[in-house]
Chain A
Amino acid sequence: MTEAARKRPEFRNINALSDLPSYRLPAAGWVSILHRVSGALMFLLMPFIIWMFDSSITSEISFAKFAAAFNVGLGFIPGWFMKLVALAIIWAYLHHFIAGIRHLYMDTFHAVTKEFGKSSAVATLVLSLGLTAVLAAKLFGLY
């Protein structure tokens, strides 16, 4: 147990500016904090999400406005920026969804080994970022 006996660095009153940038998170840590970040992002953008829902289903006229917001722009906001915001929501939803499925799976099957924690976290990051890239290409008309 000589390894454990070695004095480990102790973090007290972690400073967001001087400590966090050099703090190396494992994959599961990234999934965890991004789960929170993506949830908060969707919370803040909720009026925009409901505006999309409202304008896309209410009438043909509102649907045309909805489509134009992304192709032409909305007021002084250019279309590409609207697409960028939509893409942020797409990433947030995908990450929150996949990380949530991981949570439910772990709760249901008591899958709490260190190995599974790491491999499922890596899978979550690869899947969510990969799907976001695929949908980004579609959103910006690459295919």
Chain B
Amino acid sequence: MSVNHGSKRITTGAHYGLRDWLAQRITAALMASFTLLVLVQVIFTSGPIGYEEWAGIFAAQWMKVLTFVTILSLLYHAWIGIRDIWMDYIKPLGLRLFLHVASLIWLIGCAGWAVQALWLL
């Protein structure tokens, strides 16, 4: 049997390609729907939009839950997209691993900040 570990490992056939492809589309649809939802509320607000009107859009519990879902969707969607960019252009394995880890820290940190801002409201 041929060697299938270390540098000889066959890296195809793990079948996470389809799952990520599908996840990127589903999270995209969720975020697009959320965008339209916020846009509709902005458009149907009468008068100028100040703090009360703007923060009011995100204040209801159901809206907080939907915003939370959108933040998590963004996290997953952006991870797949950025990982694809590193896989396309960055060949040295060590550098690619470093960039993967840096991207994850960046994304998870951003998501944490967004969630904190959302629930302090």
Contacts and interface: CB of A to CB of B under 8 A. Distances in A.
- Main SS of the interface on chain B? helix
Interface string B52-71: 00110010000000000000
A105 B4 CA distance: 40
A43 B106 CA distance: 9
A91 to B, nearest CB: 15
Contact of A63 (B51, B110, B118): B51
Contacts, number: 61
A100 B28 CA distance: 8
Contacts of A59: 51
Nearest to B58: A57
- Main SS of the interface on chain A? helix
A97 B78 contact: no
Interface of B: 25, 28-29, 32, 35, 50-51, 54-55, 58, 78, 81-82, 85, 103, 106-107, 110, 113-114, 117-118, 120-121
